[in-house]
Amino acid sequence: MDQGKNPQSSTVLELSEVTRAYGKETVLRGVSMSVQPGDFYVVTGPPSSGKSVLLRLVLGLEEANSGSIVIHGNDVSSQGPQSRNIGYVPQSFALFPNKTVRDNITYPMRLDKADKQTVQETLDRVCELLTIGDLLDKRPDQLSGGQKQRVAIARGLAKQTDFFVLDDPLVGLDFKLRERLIDDLKRTRSALGVTFLYSTSDTLESLLLASRVGILANGLVVEEGDLAQVYDTPEAAESMRSLGFPESNFLEGSISAGRCSTPLGDFGVSQQGAEGQVLVGLRPEHILVGETVEGNLSVPAKVLFTEDVGGSEILYLDIDGTPLSTVLGADHPALEQLQSGSTTLSIAPESFVLFDPKTLTRIAQGVRRG
């Protein structure tokens, strides 16, 4: 697989204990994270968790109160944006209305006094990647929404550098357009062999784009790692919540004498000695519908509503007042039998992930009866 990595190059970006407060309001409480060459690194987390602030600190548009920001081995914490040489695709795209697409894209390079040949080569490359070569002589008001967005992304990417910051560039775009731009962005990163640091609070966008993720919550990166690893073994409850569509189910549980009881039933716990209240996470896709499996919890459920999302159906269920969601492939045989409004769920004990209710970090998972 093409990960575009160059084994000889060093860490692209390293943040250590970075803080940022506005007056009494602390937004970042000590963020540490590292971005490696060729990463499509997605910073995600709830809205207003400080993602944009984090990116502005990396870009040098704001200064951190404390901590260090190191780019390609150089501590740039106290340097301005110019010395950092980062390409930037901002959230809102202001194109110059009176300039052609060509001039819009090349303007920042000409400001940087790039030579003519470099400008032309860079222009050709980004235009090919974003398929906007036939728009070069048009003005923004002659473009569709999607075309404008691609031009704006092209302008951000038309820079002689190997590190780009993209601040939620697809927010508010319609579904089909986003689908296309997600492909464009991945292909572009890989073709240029560069590194992307990207922010979004959209779950599906994070999952579709990221090679690595950093989960920002309560002013901290609570977890970072390869996408599939964080998805499969989240160490923080927020990671489990932020990564996954439909969103994971969270239940209250309590551990006593090595067993955890929840509204869905009780099961053994992997960690000896854990006691008391826990937050229990359960991914929708780990809930089986219309099957019985030996050793699984068997739970009768009421079907409230099904939502057809094309290739899959999301089921919204009620278990004696506890809401639960699950997801099935659109061709799943159980869907035929749901008209009656009730069904039986089967859940493997090891699908339950147990988090400390205070620190929201993982303490154990469910296990089968010994």
Note the residues at the interface with another protein (CB under 8 A). Answer: 1-2, 174-176, 179, 186, 190, 204, 207-210, 227-228, 231-232, 243-246, 283-285, 304-312, 316, 327-330
Looking from the CA of 311 toward its CB, the CA atoms found within 13 Å total: 0
**Residues 166, 192: contact at Cβ < 8 Å?**
no
3-class secondary-structure state, position 203: helix
Smallest gap, in angstroms, from Cβ of residue 47 to another protein?
10
Q: How far apart are CA 227 and CA 224, in angstroms?
A: 9
Count CB neighbours of 56 within 10 A.
20
Alpha-helical regions (H) of the chain: 51-59, 101-111, 116-129, 145-157, 175-192, 203-209, 227-232, 237-242
145-157 and 101-111 helices cross at what angle (nearest 10)? 20
Rounded to the nearest whole angstrom, what is the least distance from the CB of residue 202 to another protein in the complex?
10
Residue 296: both structure tokens together: 């699984």
Distances 171 to 37, 69, 104, 105, 168 between C-alpha atoms, Å:
26, 27, 21, 21, 6
Q: At its nearest, how many Å lie between another protein and the CB of residue 60?
A: 31
Based on CB atoms, which residue is closest to another protein, 14 or 223? 223
240 C-beta neighbours (distance < 10 Å), count: 27
Q: Tell me whether residue 293 or residue 330 sits nearer to another protein (CB atom).
A: 330
Beginning with the edge strand found earlier in the chain, give each strand of the sheet holding 220-226 in spatial order. 87-89, 163-167, 195-199, 40-44, 212-217, 220-226
Taking the complex as a whole, the smallest distance from the CB of residue 204 to another protein amounts, in Å, to 7
The three-class DSSP label of residue 89 is strand
Nearer to another protein (CB atom), residue 88 or residue 245 = 245
CB of 213 to another protein, least distance (A): 10
Distance in angstroms (rounded) separating the CA atoms of residues 42 and 35: 10
Measured from the CB atom, the residue of 99 and 186 that comes closer to another protein is 186
CB of 232 to another protein, least distance (A): 7
Nearer to another protein, 266 or 285 (CB): 285
291 or 307, CB closer to another protein?
307
Could you tell me the smallest distance in angstroms from the CB atom of residue 309 to another protein?
5
DSSP string, 216-244: EETTEEEEEEEHHHHHHS-SBHHHHHHS-
Residue among 134 and 232 whose Cβ is closer to another protein? 232
Complex with another protein: residue 56 or 283, whichever CB lies closer: 283
